[in-house]
Amino acid sequence: MIKRTNRLSHPEDTVVRVGGDGCEAVDIGGGSLVVIAGPCSVESEEQIVGIARQAAAAGAVMLRGGAFKPRTSPYEFQGMKADGIELLLKAKAATGLPIVTEIMSENHLPLFENVDMIQVGARNMQNFELLKALGRTGKPILLKRGLANTLKELLMSAEYIMAGGNDRIVLCERGIRTFEPYTRNTLDLSAVPALHELTHLPVIVDPSHATGRADFVEPMALAAAACGADGIMIEVHNDPAHALSDGPQSVTPAQFSRLMQKIRAVRAAAADDGGAEAGALL
């Protein structure tokens, strides 16, 4: 049996449309590059709406922000939960950006009704009951690779969602666990061409979580653009030093704006085959 995620079963790239209902429609996959930006955690209306406006002005086409936060310790900030989703929806209304935010339990699905794309975090990549529930939703799903999961396991988790009837899946490389302590995780960029070979599903890259270091986000985001990622998700915070989570890996809106320009230029250069295709990108 050829699996549903296998490129042999669907030779063309899948393009996942996100949003379009009360906000912009964004297409992920098929050769273009989308940038998703926003804070690790939603902290207040002012914070999330402000960052959303600045991210949109710089060229981001989607807004990220955590409402339910999976934290290693039960004593760390766990997110604003339902209130955080409400604030994301306000930011969406204010900017027209579709939103993506993480789910931690199938029981929270009713809260995600107006969320444009539902993220499955690395720690839940093999939470199969959650995957099955998402397979029944028809919503766009952003499926992050687990900390120590192979590409084939990532595809089998996508297969759980597709087996339920939902093929609107975007995969995300976000760093894997290795012996190297200098970065938070090790960003495995070869996952991008590898997944493009194995599957028709789009692949985006999260350099913020992978490196855990704001000053490494630019070089790794540019590398992701150069190697053919279908999207890049970047943590942007207006005040990283006081962020409630992941401040050290967040760039400021000003840094993000400069980075967007470079991302565009690098992608155009990488995709240029003698000029013929350049116009189609970004």
User: Binding residues for a copy of itself, per CB under 8 A?
Assistant: 1, 3, 70-75, 104-107, 123-124, 126-130, 132, 147-148, 150-153, 156, 159-160, 163, 176-183, 186-190, 192-194, 197-198, 210-211, 215-216, 219-220, 222-228, 262, 265-266, 268-270, 272
In whole angstroms, how close is the CB of 34 to a copy of itself at the nearest point?
18
What interhelical angle do 128-135 and 151-163 show, nearest 10? 50
- 47 or 124: CB nearest a copy of itself: 124
Whichever of 95 and 250 has its CB closer to a copy of itself, that residue is: 250
Q: Which residue has the tokens 């704006």?
A: 257
Residue 21 vs 182, nearer CB to a copy of itself? 182
The answer to whether 111 and 85 are in contact (CB under 8 A) is yes
Nearer to a copy of itself, 79 or 253 (CB): 79
CB of 13 to a copy of itself, least distance (A): 15
Q: Name which of 53 and 262 has its Cβ closer to a copy of itself.
A: 262
- Long-range contact set of residues 152-159: C-beta below 8 Å, sequence gap at least 24: 152/198, 153/125, 153/126, 154/125, 154/195, 155/3, 155/5, 155/6, 155/195, 155/198, 155/199, 156/3, 156/5, 157/120, 157/125, 157/126, 157/128, 157/131, 158/5, 158/199, 158/201, 159/3, 159/4, 159/5
Smallest distance from the beta carbon of 268 to a copy of itself, in angstroms?
Answer: 7
Cβ 90 to a copy of itself, closest distance in Å?
Answer: 25
Nearest-approach distance from CB 52 to a copy of itself, in angstroms: 26
Nearer CB in complex with a copy of itself: 44/190: 190
CA 220 to chain centre: 15
CA separation for the pair 105, 121 (Å, rounded): 11
Give the shortest CB-95-to-a copy of itself separation in angstroms: 27
The span from the CA of 176 to the CA of 4, in Å, is 25
Minimum distance, C-beta of residue 143 to a copy of itself, in the bound complex (Å): 14
193: number of CA atoms within 13 Å, CB side? 4
Q: Residue 179 contacts by C-beta under 8 Å, 6 or more apart in sequence?
A: none
47/127 with CB nearer a copy of itself: 127
